[in-house]
Chain A
Amino acid sequence: MRPDTWPMFLEPAIWGFFFEGLRETIYIALVSVALSFVVGLLFALGRLSRRRWVRWPSIFYIEAVRALPVLLLIVYFGIKGSALFRPIFGADFELPRFWAGVLGLSMYTSAVLAEIIRAGIVSLPRGQTEAARALGLSHAQTMGSVILPQALRLMVPAMMNQLTTVIKDTSLVGTIGIFELLRQGRTIYTQFFNPVEVLLIVLTIYFLLCFALSRASSRLELGYTPREAKKKIRDIELRDQAA
């Protein structure tokens, strides 16, 4: 047995190192969720559209992306991200690692959020749409001021859960060279050769963060969610919870 290296964790500098990783993890998770929310909302509306040329591409995007491992998307953008944007930003454009990670995470999360938002919209009683339309609101007005405000409120807990999932998923972007929490931990243990201690600390930090968030999300039920919608969301979460 090697001597254990617990005493070195009394050093504040080590915790500073972990903290930098944690900050990067939270930062990338928040940016990805914000971006995915916007894109996911567009695709959810696209999938509910009555125009076929909008609906079919939305269905294709959502179903294809949901069926893929998120790590595959992350690795792909890590390798080819820069080349993808060169036609727009010029020949020597380098996509920062951070944004490559955000792209991979957001592409996946947007498809999942689109499904969650759609489940929320579909769960509202038909009478809401009919009443709004009968009052003379256009389709866009109905969506914007009647349906979405109600549906999104119901979906707050599900979206919080998605944030937890994305925080767990950020542990994958270390593979393309973003210095998030796990990657910082790996740097420490390759230096001091103490993976047991470091990984236990990393696990604890992730656990505290995610546990607090999932506790908070279960308290955030704003209003009555129909059983059907709950079941649908549970199925989406089971199928798409990645790492």
Chain B
Amino acid sequence: MPGGIAFEFPQLYFTGLWVTIQISILGLLSALFIGTVVAVMRVSPFAPLRWIGAAYVEFYRNTPLVVQLFFLFLGLPLIGFRFSTDTFEHIFRAASIGMGVYHGAYVAEVVRGGLLGVDRGQIEAARSLGLSYLQMLRYVQLPQTFRSVIPPLGNIGIALVKNTSLASTIGVTELLFAAEIVESRTFRAEEAFLAATLLYLSLTIPLGIAVNTLERRMLVAR
């Protein structure tokens, strides 16, 4: 059976899969939060906030994630900041936060597109009704963007799940690292990586189908 090796080393593969899922969820939640904040900064009427937002997006989109992860995991402790006193916890949190910070830049671009897509009249109407800028964002502009941004956010989610594999480079025992350990113990590279491949596909393919379904349903609804 292809991928049967996963059941010979369930401890490694399924714990690895669970770590991958945990990093994906933590990363996605923080990416959504960071991305929304940065997107709001980028469309705000206050110019310095717009510049900071733009600088954030350009910096994180144009540097490799691995280098950022190395910086979080090796660099920060040397300038006096650790995510946790426990080393394993430290690299796990560095990986999750690194995922959130990097993909947050992509989320920000998508949400910004959504915010700019809201009809100008809506914003003007809300403001002239006496809503403050923040109230207008909260009750008028942000709710209207959610619909249009869900499919692209789903695509970012898929990218994020795949990119959790980079956490293995800083020593998090997620799925890919588990496969590498099994390979070095058994020398059965094909089977070891095929099992990891199938487990990755079991995460990314359902996500892809969900994204496509959502997208189609929203097209019909409009």
Footprint of B on A, CB under 8 Å?
A: 1-2, 64, 67-72, 75-76, 79-80, 83, 164, 168-169, 171-172, 175, 182, 186, 189, 195-196, 199-200, 202-203, 206-207, 210-211, 214, 234-235, 238-243
B151 on interface, CB distance cutoff 8 Å = yes
Query: Is A79 a contact partner of B163 (Cβ separation < 8 A)?
Result: no
Query: Is B65 a contact partner of A243 (Cβ separation < 8 A)?
Result: yes
Query: Is A199 a contact partner of B158 (Cβ separation < 8 A)?
Result: no
Query: How many chain-B residues does the 8 Å CB contact rule pick out?
Result: 46
Q: A199-B71, A199-B75, A203-B71 are in contact. Are A171 and B193 (CB under 8 A)?
A: no
B189 on interface, CB distance cutoff 8 Å = yes
A169: nearest residue on chain B (CB-CB)?
Answer: B64
B215: nearest residue on chain A (CB-CB)?
Answer: A235
Q: A71-B168, A168-B65, A207-B62 are in contact. Are A235 and B70 (CB under 8 A)?
A: no
Q: How many A-B residue pairs have CB under 8 A?
A: 127
B164: chain A residues at CB < 8 Å are 69
Query: Is B67 a contact partner of A182 (Cβ separation < 8 A)?
Result: yes
Q: For B163, give its contact among A175, A182, A210, A243 (CB under 8 Å).
A: A243
B21: chain A residues at CB < 8 Å are none
Query: Is A195 a contact partner of B74 (Cβ separation < 8 A)?
Result: yes
Query: Is A203 a contact partner of B162 (Cβ separation < 8 A)?
Result: no
Q: How far is the CB of A10 from chain B (nearest CB, A)?
A: 21
Q: For A207, give its contact among B59, B78, B79, B176 (CB under 8 Å).
A: B59
Query: What would be 21 A-B contacts, judged by CB atoms less than 8 Å apart?
Result: A67-B208, A68-B197, A68-B201, A71-B176, A72-B179, A72-B193, A72-B197, A75-B180, A169-B64, A171-B66, A175-B169, A182-B67, A206-B62, A206-B63, A206-B64, A207-B63, A238-B155, A240-B159, A242-B159, A242-B163, A243-B64
Contact with A along B156-172 (1 / 0, CB 8 A): 10110011111011000
Query: Is B75 a contact partner of A72 (Cβ separation < 8 A)?
Result: no
Beta-carbon contacts under 8 Å, B55-100 to A:
58-59, 61-68, 70-71, 74-75, 78-80
